[in-house]
Copies of this chain bind each other. A is one copy, B any other.
Amino acid sequence: MPRPRHPMITALAGGVGAARLLRGLIEVVPPSCVTAIVNTGDDTVLHGLHISPDLDTVVYTLADAINPDTGWGLAGETWQVMASLERLGGVTWFSLGDQDLATHCYRTQRLHEGATLTAVTEELARSWGVEISIVPVTDDPLRTRLQLIDGPEIDFQEYFVKMHHDVAVADVRFEGAKHALPAPGVLDAIARAETIVVCPSNPVVSIGPLLAVPGVLEQLRLRREQIVGISPIIAGAALKGPAARLMREMGFESSVVGVAKWYASWVATLVIDESDAESAAAVEAEGVRCVVAPTVMSTVERSAALSQVVLDALG
């Protein structure tokens, strides 16, 4: 008897929150059915190395190699290079462990050789034994830039890591987006998925860059009924990072209702946390079906349970 073919699932992914959801998802569906379209607006070049933080966080998490304490970087990491770089007076605000550096060396060398980011990502995922399909949203340069209210326009990592996102942002733009092409497989993965899940990632700076690549939002709108979002805002705040603050700075309220408003034109269903249950009606008033469930992914089991909620949401 042939094994029943599992429906294809596509995830729109940022970093830590997305990685945790995907880690749970592969507990409930075969990894080969899953495609993650990952943000590259956070990518940066430091020390000449091409660093793709969200892609790496997803790969490391799915490989069970992530540092569980931080949610980024590798477990059991060593820091020889950083310690030496510090002695030399080099740039050390962006911490790069030794094993992690090997990833960036590998990626940069392959890109120099002419490989696409898509190809390199596939190679790295395979090296780490990751079986889901992980694709960058684009192979072209895409850089999230934040205009500070009292300051210059800066790169995402400078905002996020160097300034600890503790500065007021006037505007966000995605440099290069206008001329970026969706990476091979991206539009297909949206067009052909039976379920599309918007991971609980930062709507502004993790999901935003994906939507800025021409063709992606248009294709998502065509699949609206199949799209299930998970609110990264829980009880008015983000578990991690500047999602709540950035949403407010972009003129939305930092609540599940704000997320519903933000996503309503292309997301049909939103999963919100139990602690926001009383907002379900307000979410539905935005024209978005609302599902209430535990969304805090503190363990793989909770991630898997949330994944099952997403899969069940479309009935």
By a beta-carbon cutoff of 8 Å, the part of chain A in contact with chain B is 45-50, 78, 80-85, 87-91, 98-99, 101-106, 108-109, 111-112, 123-124, 127
Query: What is the count of identical protomers in the complex?
Result: 2
A88: chain B residues within 8 A (beta carbon): 102-103, 106, 123-124, 127
- List 11 extra interface pairs beyond A89-B123, A90-B102, CB under 8 A: A47-B108, A48-B49, A48-B109, A78-B78, A78-B98, A81-B99, A82-B102, A84-B98, A84-B101, A85-B102, A88-B127
CA distance in complex: A128, B91 (Å): 17
Q: How close is A308's CB to chain B, nearest CB, in angstroms?
A: 33
A82: chain B residues within 8 A (beta carbon): 102
Judging by beta carbons under 8 Å apart, are B112 and A98 in contact? no
Q: How close is A46's CB to chain B, nearest CB, in angstroms?
A: 7
Judging by beta carbons under 8 Å apart, are B47 and A127 in contact? no
Q: How close is A125's CB to chain B, nearest CB, in angstroms?
A: 11
CA distance in complex: A91, B111 (Å): 13
Judging by beta carbons under 8 Å apart, are A98 and B80 in contact? yes
A108: chain B residues within 8 A (beta carbon): 47-49
CA distance in complex: A312, B127 (Å): 60
A123: chain B residues within 8 A (beta carbon): 88-89
A101: chain B residues within 8 A (beta carbon): 81, 84, 101
A98: chain B residues within 8 A (beta carbon): 78, 80-81, 84, 98
